[in-house]
Amino acid sequence: MMANWVSRALADIETQTETASGVAALRAAMMQDGVIGETEARELIAIHRAGKRPSGEAGWADLFVEAMTDYFALSREVPHYREDELNPNWCHAIKRAVDALSFDALGDVETGASYHERLAALSVTETDAQVLIDAFAADGLVLDATELRVLTALFARATVYPANLRSFAWRAVQASVLADKTIQAHEVKLVRAIIMGPASLSGIAVDQAEADMLCALDQAVSDAHKDPSWAVLFAQGIGNHLLFAGGTPGRVDGKERIWLNEKLSHGPTTATKALEAFLAAEVSSNA
């Protein structure tokens, strides 16, 4: 069996001088083959986790993020719409509606899987996600910046991801923040991808669990150790939760105000002040 491109590239690296770029060799092999399979993805993860050459070279992080995104998010071809989905037979549909209204028996109609069902079948499975989770969490939940970039790239591209990967991403970003009591720019990007990316559970209407997590992170870190982008994300996330997730779109009702006051009871922060300004602007524009 022909060796995969990772093995071939690493073998080539061993025969070259110490100054040769292992990252360049891997990238050249990856571009030549054009496909990242499960074995290759696992080998790249092993190289990264081991911290051995070429994982320490400049450019490795970019290559690793691209490869993981390709395998976990882009390696599954998106299905095309069927002809009957693009051009429905309205005459047939009307006839069946008339038959139903006249209480005639409707014959069984053979139907294949819908576009969305076919798309869901191509999404990352729990088993796929567990491969990444087991590798990244092998030495604890505090991931390095490159691993957090991988999660950010996946959630920024995903339309559907399983609950185990979403839960792991939340736990990973929480552990990363609490480990050094800082909220860094790359952590803000990951949180934004989770709550506002294509795979977000509630779209722009951030759900309750996500809103609670945003508040917990804001309270855990002092303003001096938060990246400036955090306040913007916090205001948008909590603001959208209050304005769009409940039963009173466009305004904050009494129950939501009680929840908000409870969350803000620890005292004002730069993020909560940005939230108040955001809500005032949004409510004013909807008045």
Q: What is the pLDDT of residues 116-140, one digit of tens each?
A: 665 555 567 788 889 899 999 988 8
CA 195 to CA 233: how far, in whole Å?
10
Q: What confidence tens digit (pLDDT) does each residue in 142-195 have?
A: 899 999 999 999 998 877 788 999 999 999 999 999 999 999 999 999 999 999
108 Ramachandran zone, left/alpha/beta (phi>0; psi -120 to 50): beta
Q: What angle do CA 13, 19, 24 make, to 5 degrees?
A: 55
Q: What is the pLDDT of residue 19?
A: 47
Lookup: tokens for 20: 């040769």
Rounded Cα–Cα distance for residues 212 and 92 (Å): 49
User: So what's the pLDDT on residue 282?
Assistant: 85
* Bond preceding residue 54 cis, omega within 30 of 0: yes
CB 252 within 8 A of CB 279: yes
pTM above 0.85, yes or no: no
Per-residue pLDDT at 219: 95
- pLDDT tens, the chain, 287 aa long: 345 767 766 666 555 544 456 788 888 887 776 778 888 888 888 888 887 767 667 788 998 999 998 888 765 555 555 666 566 666 766 766 666 666 555 455 555 666 566 555 556 778 888 989 999 998 888 899 999 999 999 998 877 788 999 999 999 999 999 999 999 999 999 999 999 988 787 777 799 999 999 999 999 999 999 999 999 999 999 999 999 887 788 888 899 999 999 988 889 999 999 999 999 998 777 66
| Predicted pLDDT at 213 | 95
Given a contact cutoff of 8 angstroms between Cβ atoms, the answer to whether 200 and 191 are in contact is: no
**Is residue 205 within 8 Å of 244, Cβ to Cβ?**
yes
